[in-house]
Amino acid sequence: MSVERLVEIAAPGAGPARIGLGLAAVGRPAYINLGRDRDLPAERPVEVMRRRSHELLEAGYAAGVRYLDAARSYGRAEEFLADWLRDRPDAARDVVVGSKWGYTYVAEWRTDAETHEVKDHGVETFDRQRELTDALLGDRLDLYQIHSVTPDSPALTDPELHARLAGLAAEGVTVGISTSGPRQAEAIRAALAVEADGRPLFRTVQSTYNLLEPSAGAALAEAHEAGRAVIVKEAVANGRLTEAAERLPEPLRQVAEETGATPDAVALAAVLHRPWVTVVLSGAATKDQLRSNLAAADLRLDESGLARLEQLAETPQTYWRHRSELPWA
C-alpha cells in the first residue's frame, strides 16, 4: 500500500485509520515514556517484548489501524514488525509500513546503558541502515524517513545523500523526514525546499506536535498545503498528557471529565482536530492504552474545550529541555 493510499483512507472521519501505531515503546527494553514500570514487566527479554509488540499490532489492526511505524534505533522493532507481517500476509497487504534511519541503537538490550542511540545522517549510515532495513522489511517498506532532522542536519544539504534517496524513491519507496527539537518549524520548511531531479524529495513529514509543544503547527500546515502527508508523533508528550503524569494539567483534566474521555484520548483528539494532520501516532505499550488512544478517533471537542487546551502550550525551549531530562526506563 502506498503513502498516497494512506492519505486516502485516513481522511477526516475515517475513524481509527487516522491513528497509527508507533513501536518505539515496545521495540526495545528502555524508553523515556512515563509509567513504563507499570506498563511493562521488570524483566524485558527479547521474546517478552516481541510478544507485546505482536499483541499490539494484532489489536491495532483489528481495530482499524493501518499505519505502522518503526525505526532502526527502536531496538528490534523492525524485526518484530517483519515477523508479524510474515505471519499475517492478509494484514501485510492492507497496511502502510514506515521506518526511519539516522540513529543507531547501541544499548545492547540494556535498560541501564549510558547511551541508547547515536545519531548520524551521513551517506555511510544510510547505506548501512538501508541494507539492514531491506533485509527485514524488503518490499513491505512503504516509507523511509530520516530520523530527527534538525536545521543543521547534513541531510538537508548533502547532494550525494539526496541522490541516494532519489534512487530509493525511484524504486517505489516514499522518502520523508521526521523532526525533533525546538527548531522543528525551521527544519520542516528547509525540507520542503529540497529537490532532486527538479522534484520535491521529501513527501512526508513526521513531527512532534502536542498540547504542550504546538510550535511546529504552522509549518506542518504549510507542508500539508504543499501536498505532503503529515504524521504527528509524541501527541501525549511521552506520557505527560496521560494518567501516568504526576499531575495532569488542569484544563486537560477538566475537558476529560466533561467529555467522559481519558486524558490521552483528549490530547490525541485535539491533534486530530487540526485539518492538516494525516495520521497521529499512538505509542501505546499496552492493549488498554491502545484502546484508550483509539477512542480519540471518535471524540469531538467543542471550541471552548479546544481553547482551554491551547493554554497548555509551553515555549519550545522549555518543552524540549524537560523532554531531555526524562529518564530512560
With a cut of 80, say whether residue 114 has pLDDT above it.
Answer: yes
Residue 234 has pLDDT above 70, yes or no: yes
Q: According to the model, what pLDDT value does residue 3 have?
A: 76
- Lowest mean pLDDT, pick from 206-210, 243-247, 279-283: 243-247
Please tell me the class of the 1-325 domain.
alpha beta
Supply the DSSP string of 159-172, one letter for each residue: HHHHHHHHHHHHTT
Phi-psi region of 297 (alpha: psi -120 to 50; beta: other; left: phi over 0): alpha
pLDDT beyond 80 at 126: yes
List residues bridging with 321 in a β-sheet. none
Return the number of other C-beta atoms located less than 10 Å from residue 204's C-beta.
25
The pLDDT of residue 209 is 98
Cα–Cα distance for residue pair 115/108, rounded to 1 Å: 10
pLDDT in tens, 143-153: 999 999 999 99
pLDDT band at 8 (very low <50, low <70, confident <90, very high): confident
Evaluate if residue 14 carries a pLDDT over 80: no
Residue 4 binned pLDDT confidence (cut-offs 50, 70, 90): confident
- Summary mean pLDDT of the chain: 96
Residue 96 is predicted with a pLDDT of 96
Q: Is the pLDDT reported for residue 293 higher than 90?
A: yes
Whole-number pLDDT of residue 1: 62
Instruction: Provide mean pLDDT across the span 106-125.
Output: 97
Mean pLDDT (whole number) for 20-47: 97
Residues 309 and 270 sit within 8 Å (Cβ to Cβ):
yes
Q: Is the pLDDT confidence value at 5 over 90? A: no
Q: Which residues pair with 68 in a beta bridge?
A: 21, 97
Averaged over 180-192, what is the pLDDT? 98
What pLDDT, on a 0 to 100 scale, did the predictor assign at position 258? 97
